[in-house]
Structure 1
């Protein structure tokens, strides 16, 4: 079958190759039987997967990353959903300015955001614990909560909520029975994007980390600087496998079309 856009098709194929081929190299290296990180691997072995699963710094930072991603995503949604409703349904003066402020972390480089938070929280207020990292990740995820849930709300018919209130439903009942189901695709989308963004973040975590709060990507970066064995490749492969499993479960239970319906409409 011939395509009517050969240039676009060629660029798409090139993009897939650029993204996928390096991942395949990492996966292949993870099964190496050798002691150095190189391709092609020296034989095949599951040795480094066992090393990765028993390496305490990786396990401790994994727990920290999971807790941080869940907490920051939840807080971002708790703050972002009311802001979204106020922007799209309320009579908020200067709506465009308020929305731009919430979206600003997407425009400003993460290093700049991290440096600003480091200056204010660590240097000025002398905070050196996990709360600094939580505040930073929450600020980073707020734009996803506002923008993605806002896409679902903007595409919905406001007359549905007006009809519920006209029939005597209280604002809380209207939100639970009408607004929340409308927001469901955006909530799932924002939660997935927020969790992945927080879990994989390096620049912000690198600046705001503390002794009792080190994320897995930062720990892996430190390990690569000191060692050159395939354990990091094995860890990356395990994370990739877990991501694929989550994606399959999400597709089978809800479907990506429903999850991301608030954006694609």
Structure 2
């Protein structure tokens, strides 16, 4: 009886391990190239925003003059006020809707539950520009087209899937025996919700509120389709500015939005973890 050639198996194992190593190296290289492609424009924007000589690179020094001009411009300050009001309104509406939806989906089984979840997550499956255009056509058929109500509703729908994801992660880890204990000592549904449920999931609530606000604050497609004349959010105002003004003020304002978003991501990661939010 012939014995298998151990050297043949060894050579095959070596070739497989080399192929795996080459595959891992290629995947890592592609990942680094993709990250560089995504982050290089951000790096250029940050460099331009602190360069005294505007768009001449590499930077010849460091200045915050462009940031000062951006944050003291009447046009941008007014647009910031619009975005602030819009972000707060959309955040509160989306958070309230998401909380009620998550309570129903986590605690109860009902017909159409999977369809409801798919419907809520559908804005994540559709390109934002197409989604924004569809909202504009829908509201136009209702007779009021672009306007403040349409804009607030559009932003609320846009951030709702993220709201549902974060609150679902918080509610799935909630111990229902805490509510049962509260009801056993005479607490009603509202008292139980305010005294037990909300304090326990407050980390998820705070994380979701901050994330919704930043998503609404930075949103451009929905705002450009639904914002009424004279009520322009900051991203749309910034886009209009950089189309006609060739200076570093726009880069400074864009850098401010980038830095604010980074700070928010760090805060959310410290509060509840980005993996729980994004999974």
**Matching residue within 72, 75, 82 for 1:54:** 72
Match of 2:235 in 1: 217
Residues in 2 aligned to 1:202 and 1:234: alpha-carbon distance in whole angstroms = 18
Matches within 5 A, 1:82-101: 82-101=100-119
Residues in 2 aligned to 1:210 and 1:264: alpha-carbon distance in whole angstroms = 32
What's the offset of the Cα at 1:166? 4.0
Root-mean-square deviation (Å): 2.9
Structure 1 segments (4+ residues) deviating >6 Å: none
The C-alpha deviation readout for 1:186-240, integer Å capped at 9, x for no partner, is 2123212211111111111111111132111111111111122111111122333
Matched, 1:33 2:55: no
**Matching residue within 133, 142, 146 for 2:164:** 146
Matches within 5 A, 1:180-219: 180-219=198-237
Query: Is contact 2:148-2:227 (8 Å) kept?
Result: yes
Residues in 1 aligned to 2:153 and 2:50: alpha-carbon distance in whole angstroms = 38
What secondary structure does 1:96 align onto?
helix
Query: Is contact 1:84-1:149 (8 Å) kept?
Result: yes
Q: Number of aligned pairs? A: 257
Matched, 1:22 2:41: yes
Match of 2:270 in 1: 256
TM-score between both structures, scaled by the size of structure 1: 0.82
TM-score between both structures, scaled by the size of structure 2: 0.79
Match of 2:87 in 1: 69
Residues in 2 aligned to 1:92 and 1:227: alpha-carbon distance in whole angstroms = 55
Residues in 2 aligned to 1:90 and 1:62: alpha-carbon distance in whole angstroms = 41
Gaps of 5+ in 2: 1-20
Q: Based on CA coordinates, which of the two structures has the bigger radius of gyration?
A: 2
Gaps of 5+ in 1: none
Residues in 2 aligned to 1:162 and 1:262: alpha-carbon distance in whole angstroms = 27
What secondary structure does 1:214 align onto?
coil
What's the offset of the Cα at 1:65? 1.0
**Matching residue within 136, 152, 177 for 1:134:** 152
